[in-house]
Every structure is written in C-alpha cells, then in structure tokens.
Amino acid sequence: MKRPSQLPSADRLRYGADYNPDQWLDQVQVLEEDISLMQRVQATSASIGIFAWTSLEPSPGHYNFAWLDDTMERFAKAGLSVFLATPSGSKPMWLSEQHPEVRRVTAEGRREPSGGRHNHCPTSPVYRSAVARINRQLALRYGKHPALALWHVGNELNGECHCLLCRSAFHAWLQKRYHCLETLNRVWWNSFWNKTITEWTQIPTTDPGNDGLTVDWLRFVNDQHVSFLENEMAPLRELCPHVPCTTNFMGTNRSTNYWQWAGSLDCIANDHYPLPDDRAGCWRKALGTDFIHSLVRGLADGAPWLLMECSPSSVNWSRINKLKRPGVHLQEVLQAVANGADAIHYFQWRKGLGGHEKYHGAVIDHEGSSDSRVFRECAEVGKVLRDLAPVAGLAPERAKVAIIYDWESRWALEASAGPKKAEESDRHNEACLEHFRALRCAGIEVDLIAPNAELAAYRLVVSPALYSLSAETARRLTKFTIAGGAWVATYLTGYVDEHNRCWRGGFPGPNLREVFGLWNEEVDYLFDDENVRIEGALFGPGGSATATDIVEQLNAEGAQTLATLASEFYANRPIVLRNNCGAGNTFYIGARLAEEGCISFYEYLASELDLPRLVLPRGVVRKTRAGADGPVEFLFNYTREEVSVDLGEDTFHCLVDGHACHGKTTLRPYASLVKGCRPASLPPPSPTPLHPTHEEPQLSASPRR
Ligand code: GAL
C-alpha cells in the first residue's frame, strides 16, 4: 500500500550535507566551527551518523551517545535540523568478527572480510536484530529531540549475498511463489540441459544458464532489501510515528526495483552525481540527469522529494575527477529543484583527513576555512535556495506523456543470451533514456512511470524496449489505447513473459500483433560501425533517418507503414508503423533510431496527436513547479555556449545577480533563470534585459499551444 508522501516539514528548501562529527571527536574546535560555517552557507540540516555504529556502540550492548547528544544539542541551539541515520550501512568490527554470518558471500562462495560497507547479509537474523536494537536505542533517545526531522535509514541499500541463509530464504521465497517443483520446473524451462530440480534444496542462487532463475533471484534480492528496510523502520515507526522515514536511492541502479520500495517509505530521497563534462554535447548529459530526476518524481508519485547526496565539487571515484565549470553546480542544484527536490544535501560537509574519501569533494576542504572557491559557491547556492523558499512543497508539473521504466525488463534482458549484443546488458535503460531525450528535444514534457502505474491522465505512453511484458500489463496498455490513448512501442517489445519465457504466437506478445497490426518476424544486429538507412515522410525534409545496432524484420498486418528500411537485403520492409486501436493509436518503431530520427518521430507525433510542447533551442530547458499562487518556472541553458532565445513577455530572473530578462535574450553558458519567484532580497529589476541581443533566436521560445 502506498504511504502518503510526508517530507519533513519546512517553510523553505532544505540545504545541508552528510556530516561526520564522530570522525572529529578529538578536535572540538572543528566541531564548534562547523556549526558557524553551516550557518554561513545558510544550511538548514545535516545527515548524521550514517557510518557511526562503532562510535555509538563501541562494544555489544554498551552505548556511547555523548557525542551525538552534544551534536543534537548544538544543532537544536543553532536552529538546524538533523536527518538522523541508522548506522547499518557499515558494520562494527566487533559484530562482523564475532558473527561472520553478517558478512556477505560472493556469487563464487567467498565470504567478504570485515570492513567495507554496503556489504551486510540482508537475511542474517543476527544482523537484523543488531540493527533493530541500535535503531530502537536511537529512537528511544532522540525520537522526541527538537532537532530530529527525518530518519535516514541505512545508506544506499543494494547488492547480493549468496550465503546459505540467503540461499534457504530464496528457497522459501520460491516455495511461496510456485508451491510445487513441477510448476517451478515448467516456468523455468528446466528440462533444458538437465536443470530439472527434484528437491528445493538443490536450487542454486546463481546459474547464468537459467534465465528464469536469474530473474527470480533478482526479485528475491530486491524483496530481501525491502524487508530489511522494513525491519529497520519497525522500531522507528513504533517509537516515533511522527518522524518520517526515508532511505537514499541510487537512481537507475540495476539491482533495486525502486517501484517496489517507494510504497514502504514516507518520502523519496535520491543520490545523484552527474560527472562534470564540458565537452561539446554536454547538454545531453544534463538531459540524462533530468531523466533520473523524472524517475525520482515518478517514485515520489509526483510529490516533492529530497536530493540526499550530490557533490559540491568533484568526486574521487571517477576515472577523471574534473572540477565543475562556473555555473554548473548552481545549475545542477536548481535543476533538481525544478524537478521537485525540496532538499539539497551534499556528500560531504567536510573532507576527512584520512580514509577512502579524503579527496572527495566537500563544502569544507582540508584547509578548513571559508576561503575556498567551493565554499563561496556553496554559500551562493545557500542564498539562492533560501530565496526560493516559496517553491517548497510545490509539486512539479505533471506531463501528458509518460515513459514506462521497467526493472523487470532490464533483468530479463540481462539474464538472456540474446536478443542483444553479447556485451550489452542494459538495452532497456538505454532505450528509455534515448526516447526521453528525443521527447525533450522535441519540446515534450515526460514523466517516468511504473509498468503498473495508472495511465488515465496521459495522452501518450511510450514503452521503450519493454522486453518482458506480462499479460496483465499488455491488457492495461491495450485498454488505455482502446479508450483513446496513444501507445508507442519499440524494438524488443513483448518478447518474454514474467518468467523470461518467449511468448508463443509471434512477437510482440502477448497477443499484441493485432493491437500493433504487425508481426515482428526476426531481428538483425548491426556491427558497431554499420547502420541502416530508413525512409519516411515523417522524418521531415529529406525524409530519412538512420538505424543502428538493432533492426527488426516486421510484417505489416493491417498497420499503416510510416517508414521503411532503405538499405540491406531487407530494403522496403516496414520499420515504423501506425495502427488504429479502438479510439486510440499504436505506433511501433522496429529499429534503434539515431538521435535526429528519433526526435523527428516525436515531432511528427506531437503534431499528429496535438500534444502540448514548447520548442526551444537544443540544450535549453524550461521546467515548472505548480503553486496555488501561480507556477514557478525555471529556464536552463545546459550547453557550454551562449544561446539566443525569445522569452516574449515572460520575465525571468537570475537569482545570483537579480537581473531580469525578457524578450530576445542571450543565455550565458550554463545559465539558470527563474520566473514567478522574485525574492525580496534581490535588487530592483534592472530596466535592461541581461545580455540583450539583436540576433534572431534559432527557434521561438513561446509555447505552441
Ligand atoms: C555515495 C555514498 C556516500 C559517498 C558517496 C561518494 O554512493 O552513499 O557515502 O561514498 O557515494 O560519492
């Protein structure tokens, strides 16, 4: 059951960082300075104690809360609030040495050494009860503390454990799902290669040759994390039901089907670290960040959410740890806000002197003062976020177009040998991202939704590479279309059922041949340096597009052909088709279209379906949060170049220098402007627009409809 979204209450956007006072207990002066430095960047909050278990419980059952008492007091006194972490993200040595079962076992059967993090066994009763005990202590001690605003439960829960405890829990999970081995053997197609199981205990946790087992294993692992999370939250909810609980997600992380986590939490939090890249085309990466934020908006069911971690400067784990160029950091922060974030927290407040993350970006450098460039930028961000207080609590605007994002299709594709190139594992994710980008470039707003989401509010649903398609999901999408909706499906649609068994009767399954008016007979793969030409009037002047990687061999069975293949032995075969389905339409794109072709397709669709869209130059994005007193709008230039736009009568402000812009305007590289929220702290509006220009804009910024 979905819990109502319940962000920690605040009359402004939250701003803060992961804070580790436990690493500085011998340097009291540092702790004292931290509070006043936090106030100087206008921070509101900090996530505390994420990896602090040993500092809180130095030996089993012996607690040391003095430092946390002190920290909570300092925060309360300064008017700052605390997102108090449960410390399960890493284990005390005393626990992992005394009870090796809490340590994870790899797929090869090797138990991991003590140390490390995010590597506990999610099944271990010893670990679960140790976690529940320390969480209970925290709830008892701080549940009513005035500084406590939110429970930050664990940290980035993910990964697999193949120990015997997990193995038998997997068996129990399978028994509950399939009841008898006959069913399990049938749905896993176990007569292949002598995989037939005759005792539940024979079932391994991993068998790369068993496609059905692999997806069930991934489902089980996901369920174990959710039940581990529930176990963590039980004492917190029992003792302080008034304090919301969340855990920090990792966007599109492979092993975590967050659609199934979201309902257990009171609000949604995500960690996101866009890697700085100022090369040509960097705007595409920024749209990739919008893609992640849209997924988080979907997980939050349209409510505001928290960006729980991002870096104020560089990271230390990428191949090349670049610095962000001027304007980029502020833009990333506002980009999250525009997408519904009501809190921006960094990893990390202060660089440690030692440990694995001593070179990771932080608000406070080893040098220790407020003199750094990063500190100044963070202070500027703090001021801007304070000025944006009216945005807090406003919902990001819902789109009329949705993309179905499906972890199950990712898992099923990953588990199958083919239909994909041998080395690739994430075709579904990539297809969703490409179609998201193309829709955004065509000026169309997009939500990301779960396969079982309510569809009625949408005019168009796009399901890129929805490879694993259950009869129920197919039925719901068909119903949506018959009722007048439009459904776009692509290559790799409806190949397998929920057990990763191919649908009989021809793809797309199940029974979707009629819905799409076509039969997908075969699929061709292209070498990386090969492509296939496509022709069709829908691609605009010239009427052609390019396909890469994957080209299906389609037969029209009643559908209208919109584009055909124009090279190779399969020239003249249909590749983009349209079908009438009840009061609605289906569209099928049987090849991976290169960017321009994909954008043209959605431009065609927008005009066919009369979809609302806003055409702006490539890399310029406008985003809205809806408020009772009118919307607040954000305008971004994601490119490294100046871009000309025509803002018409709309007046946008730069929140840093207060300048107003309207009419024909040149946006600076990485510019971020806001309309509908002109804070009192800004100087009076300037009579002249920022960077007036006499150049013609490439495209009008005014809404078409
Ligand atoms: C996150 C993690 C943080 C920190 C950060 C560094 O994945 O939750 O604790 O390690 O990465 O970028």
Domain boundaries, the chain: 14-160+225-390, 401-611, 620-704
Give pLDDT, residue 627: 77
DSSP label of 280: T
Atom of ligand 1 nearest to the CA of 155: 8
The finding on whether 155 has its CB within 6 A of some atom of ligand 1 is yes
The two domains 401-611 and 620-704 share their CATH topology (first three levels equal) = no
Task: Please give the distance, rounded to the nearest whole angstrom, from the Cα atom of residue 577 to the centre of ligand 1.
Answer: 45
Q: Which CATH class is domain 620-704?
A: mainly beta
* Mutation test residue for ligand 1: of 22, 119, 309, 318, the one with most atoms within 8 Å of CB: 309
Give pLDDT, residue 694: 32
Task: Please give the distance, rounded to the nearest whole angstrom, from the Cα atom of residue 319 to the centre of ligand 1.
Answer: 16
Q: Which long-range contacts (CB under 8 A, 24 or more apart) does 300-303 make?
A: 300/5, 300/262, 300/267, 300/268, 300/340, 301/2, 301/5, 301/262, 302/340, 302/395, 302/396, 302/398, 302/447, 303/5, 303/7, 303/267, 303/268, 303/340, 303/395
CB 308 within 8 A of CB 152: yes
Atom of ligand 1 nearest to the CA of 317: 12
The finding on whether 232 has its CB within 6 A of some atom of ligand 1 is no
What are the start-end ranges of the H helices in 202-275?
211-239, 259-262
The finding on whether 357 has its CB within 6 A of some atom of ligand 1 is yes
Atom of ligand 1 nearest to the CA of 315: 12
Q: Which CATH class is domain 14-160+225-390?
A: alpha beta
Which of 160, 309, 535, 603 is flagged as catalytic? Answer: 309
User: Which regions in the chain score pLDDT beneath 50?
Assistant: 1, 686-705
Has 156 been annotated as catalytic? yes
CB 18 within 8 A of CB 309: yes
Task: Please give the distance, rounded to the nearest whole angstrom, from the Cα atom of residue 214 to the centre of ligand 1.
Answer: 28
Dihedral pair phi/psi, residue 308, rounded to 5°: -80, -25
The finding on whether 347 has its CB within 6 A of some atom of ligand 1 is yes
The finding on whether 271 has its CB within 6 A of some atom of ligand 1 is yes
Q: Whose CA is nearest to atom 12 of ligand 1?
A: 315
Task: Please give the distance, rounded to the nearest whole angstrom, from the Cα atom of residue 248 to the centre of ligand 1.
Answer: 10
CB 142 within 8 A of CB 83: no
CA distance 568 to 531: 10
* Mutation test residue for ligand 1: of 271, 275, 306, 310, the one with most atoms within 8 Å of CB: 271
CA distance 44 to 650: 32
Residue 620, number of CB atoms within 10 A of its CB? 23
Give the DSSP H or E segment for 544.
strand 544-556
Task: Please give the distance, rounded to the nearest whole angstrom, from the Cα atom of residue 136 to the centre of ligand 1.
Answer: 25
Task: Please give the distance, rounded to the nearest whole angstrom, from the Cα atom of residue 347 to the centre of ligand 1.
Answer: 7
The finding on whether 315 has its CB within 6 A of some atom of ligand 1 is yes
Task: Please give the distance, rounded to the nearest whole angstrom, from the Cα atom of residue 273 to the centre of ligand 1.
Answer: 9
What's the distance, CA 116 to chain centroid? Answer: 25
The finding on whether 360 has its CB within 6 A of some atom of ligand 1 is yes
Q: Whose CA is nearest to atom 9 of ligand 1?
A: 347
Task: Please give the distance, rounded to the nearest whole angstrom, from the Cα atom of residue 34 to the centre of ligand 1.
Answer: 20
Which of 156, 160, 434, 498 is flagged as catalytic? Answer: 156
CA distance 433 to 424: 15
Residue 72, number of CB atoms within 10 A of its CB? 22
Q: Whose CA is nearest to atom 7 of ligand 1?
A: 156
Give pLDDT, residue 420: 86
Give pLDDT, residue 7: 82
CB 99 within 8 A of CB 126: yes
* Mutation test residue for ligand 1: of 22, 88, 314, 357, the one with most atoms within 8 Å of CB: 357
The finding on whether 19 has its CB within 6 A of some atom of ligand 1 is no
CATH topology of domain 401-611: Rossmann fold (3.40.50)
Q: Residue type at 659?
A: H
Task: Please give the distance, rounded to the nearest whole angstrom, from the Cα atom of residue 349 to the centre of ligand 1.
Answer: 12
Has 309 been annotated as catalytic? yes
CB 51 within 8 A of CB 117: yes
What is the total residue count of the chain?
Answer: 705
* Mutation test residue for ligand 1: of 270, 316, 347, 349, the one with most atoms within 8 Å of CB: 347
Tokens of 103: 């340590």
Closest by Cα among 229, 210, 95, 64 to 158: 229
Give pLDDT, residue 690: 37
